[in-house]
Amino acid sequence: MKKIIRISLFVALGALFIYTIFYLYNKNQQKPVVYKTISMSETDIVKKTLATGSIVPRREINIKPQVSGIIEKIFVVAGTKVKKGDMIARIKIIPNMLNLADSHALRLLWTMPR
């Protein structure tokens, strides 16, 4: 009885070993390449390109007003070409009390007789 159990256990292990080898061999085989085919038709070729990044101008000029104040209205849009003398914006001048007092004191100094 023990001999029959031992023989059947060895047979079962041998069958399991053979099945494992067979399974790994089939899994390792490369599958054939299948190409998708379509029937011929007449169409237009459209080529599109996606570019990432940012657009930077070749020449950029910062415009600074000669007086300080608040911009009321802007007459041009970013990227618009302007020429010398073109109106770009309207500035509302708000005097700074400290600068106004300093300029008044300087004017009094220059107008005093020596």
H and E: helices and strands count for the chain = 2, 2
Question: Domain segments of the chain: what residues?
Answer: 1-30, 70-111
User: Could you report the per-residue pLDDT of 4-48, keeping only the tens digit for each?
Assistant: 889 999 999 999 999 999 999 988 888 888 889 888 888 888 899
pTM of the predicted model over 0.75: no
> How would you classify residue 85: left for phi > 0, otherwise alpha for psi between -120 and 50, otherwise beta?
left
User: Could you report the per-residue pLDDT of 44-86, keeping only the tens digit for each?
Assistant: 888 998 888 888 888 877 777 677 778 889 998 888 888 888 8
